[in-house]
């Protein structure tokens, strides 16, 4: 059932209503111009509503003609999907020109009251049926326009949330870059001195146990170095080196790297693809990192014997979609709300940078991430746009 069919069913608009409107049309047609005149007189009395009309008297004259045509088609029908598409375009225009939502409602009510009065004058015998049909028709029109105002509000909310996230990530990158710079220099110095100490001990010591402590320190320095590199990957995402890459080949390499981890827990790790080769314009190394991080998260989320599926497919209109599906327990709402937040992790010993890095790299590609999660598992899709 389409949106328009659904709202027609909800308000109870049927063939009897359409017939009542068709009967009203020839009676009301001589008053169309007067109704349009009064409609725009009411709008122009209110500064905020009038501000949406920027073309002066000529635009008002055109709008009145459009309203006359709107009235004629509204009464004539047919009230089908093509009718909905025409009305939807009008709704989008109201949003684009910035007509305040409250004036859209009140302007419609002005027209509703005027038509009711005209019905009482012109068709007193059939007034009740015609008024009911007009009310249902105007409710349909309001629902269509309101849908576009709602879509616009949702789009602005998403953009505002994205801007807030970008601001937080930018601040965290600045802090992380400074911290990494301060740590890297003394860490490199300690590593150099340790290597000198190891060489001296090897030359002058016969007891190998003296080197055990240096090996432990060397291992910890190496771990800190890798952690520091992860910080730098988040703090200063490299400029993309974009080119034509086969995402299937990249995904297969990730599967090979993660196979041992999956086999150790009897997890089924599967790659599916829409075609043998899926080309995308991207930085191959960065997309490899994105897929690797997401597959690793999925493997950690599933129980022993679980399944993780990596899908690669071309996208309609160009670009590509990479999807990772697991049958784990899903992402709790409180965790999902903070999933891209740096240093936030539910894993013991985790840095909380994995998804922050994924988000940064996908943003660099001007792509998008979509997450669907529930008790049955999680599906994360990375959408890469066509070549610019």
Q: Distance between CA 359 and CA 346 in Å, rounded?
A: 18
Q: Which residues of 106-139 are buried (b: 16+ CB within 10 A; e: fewer)?
A: ebbebbbebbeebbeebbeeeeebbbebbbbbbb
pLDDT value at residue 166 = 66
Two tokens, residue 48:
């905020």
In this predicted structure, what is the pLDDT of residue 236?
Answer: 65
What's the rounded mean pLDDT across residues 44-54?
A: 64
HSE, CB side, 13 Å, CA atoms: give it for residue 328: 23
302 or 348, which is more confident = 302
Nearest by Cα to 46 from 114, 93, 110:
110
Question: In terms of CATH architecture, what is 243-384?
Answer: 2-Layer Sandwich (3.30)
Report residue 338 as tokens: 């903070």
**What percent of the chain has pLDDT above 90?**
22
Mean pLDDT of the 174-196 span: 72
Most confident stretch, 153-162, 244-253, 346-355: 244-253
Q: Is the pLDDT of residue 322 over 90?
A: yes
CB neighbour class for 41 (10 Å; exposed up to 12, middle 13-18, buried from 19): exposed
pLDDT confidence of 326, banded at 50, 70, 90?
Answer: very high
The DSSP code for 226 is: H
Domain residue spans in the chain? 3-158, 164-235, 243-384
Residue labelled with tokens 């002066």:
56
Q: What is the pLDDT of residues 59-87, one digit of tens each?
A: 767 777 777 777 888 788 788 888 777 77
Nearby residues of 16 by Cβ (< 8 Å), 6 or more positions away = 129, 133
Question: According to the model, what pLDDT value does residue 12 have?
Answer: 85
So what's the pLDDT on residue 252? 94
The pLDDT score that the predictor gives to residue 256 is 93
User: Per-residue pLDDT for 339 more than 80?
Assistant: yes
Nearest to 377 by CA among 299, 271, 292: 299
Q: Which of 25-29, 191-195, 266-270 has the highest mean pLDDT?
A: 266-270
> What is the rounded distance in angstroms from the CA atom of residue 311 to the CA atom of residue 147?
34
CA distances to 134, 172, 262, 309, 334 from 305, in Å: 61, 38, 9, 13, 27
Distant-in-sequence, close-in-space partners of 176: CB < 8 Å, separation ≥ 6: 231, 232, 234, 235, 342
Per-residue confidence (pLDDT) for residue 351, from 0 to 100: 65
DSSP 295-337: HHHHHHHSPTT-EEEEEEEE-TTSSEEEEEEE-S----HHHHT
CA angle (142 as vertex; 141, 143 as ends), nearest 5: 90
User: Which of the residue ranges 118-132, 210-224, 236-250 would you say has the lowest mean pLDDT?
Assistant: 210-224
Rounded to 5°, the CA angle 178-181-186 comes to 135
- Amino acid 270: pLDDT: 93
Q: Give the integer Cα–Cα distance in Å for 284 and 320.
A: 13
Distance, CA of 6 to CA of 2 (rounded, Å): 6
Average pLDDT score over the chain: 79
| Residue range 3-158, CATH number | 1.10.490.10
Q: Residue 53: what are its φ and ψ, rounded to 5°? A: -100, 105
């Amino acid at each position: 059932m389409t949106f328009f069919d659904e709202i027609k069913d909800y308000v109870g608009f049927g063939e009897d209503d359409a017939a009542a409107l068709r009967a009203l049309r020839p009676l009301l047609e001589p008053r169309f111009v007067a109704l349009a005149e009064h409609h725009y007189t009411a709008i122009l009395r209110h500064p905020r509503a009038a501000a949406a009309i920027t073309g002066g008297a000529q635009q008002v004259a055109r709008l009145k003609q459009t309203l006359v045509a709107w009235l004629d088609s509204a009464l004539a029908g047919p009230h089908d999907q093509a009718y909905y598409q025409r009305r939807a375009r009008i709704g989008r225009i109201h949003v684009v020109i910035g007509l305040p939502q409250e004036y859209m409602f009140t302007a419609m009510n002005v027209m509703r009251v005027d038509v009711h009065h005209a019905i009482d004058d012109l068709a007193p015998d059939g007034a009740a049926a015609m008024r009911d049909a007009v009310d249902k028709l105007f409710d349909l029109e309001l629902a269509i326009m309101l849908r576009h105002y709602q879509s616009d509000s949702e789009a602005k909310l998403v953009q505002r949330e994205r801007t807030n996230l970008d601001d937080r990530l930018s601040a965290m990158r600045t802090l992380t870059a400074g911290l990494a710079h301060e740590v890297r220099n003394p860490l490199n110095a300690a590593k150099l001195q340790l290597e000198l100490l190891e060489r001296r001990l090897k030359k002058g010591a016969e007891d190998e146990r003296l080197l055990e402590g240096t090996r432990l320190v060397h291992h910890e320095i190496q771990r800190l170095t890798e952690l520091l590199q992860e910080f730098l990957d988040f703090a200063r995402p490299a400029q993309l080196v974009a080119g034509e890459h086969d995402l299937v080949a990249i995904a297969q390499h990730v599967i090979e790297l993660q196979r041992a981890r999956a086999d150790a827990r009897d997890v089924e790790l599967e790659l599916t693809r829409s075609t043998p080769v899926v080309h995308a314009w991207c930085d191959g190394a960065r997309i490899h990192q994105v897929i690797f991080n997401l597959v690793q998260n999925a493997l950690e989320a599933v129980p022993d014997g679980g399944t993780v599926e990596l899908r690669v497919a071309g996208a309609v209109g160009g670009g590509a979609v990479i999807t990772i599906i697991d049958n784990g327990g899903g992402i709790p709402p409180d965790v999902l709300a903070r999933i891209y937040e740096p240093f936030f992790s539910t894993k013991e010993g985790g840095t909380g940078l994995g998804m922050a890095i994924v988000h940064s790299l996908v943003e660099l590609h001007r792509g998008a991430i979509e997450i669907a999660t529930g008790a049955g598992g999680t599906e994360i899709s990375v959408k890469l746009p066509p070549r610019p």
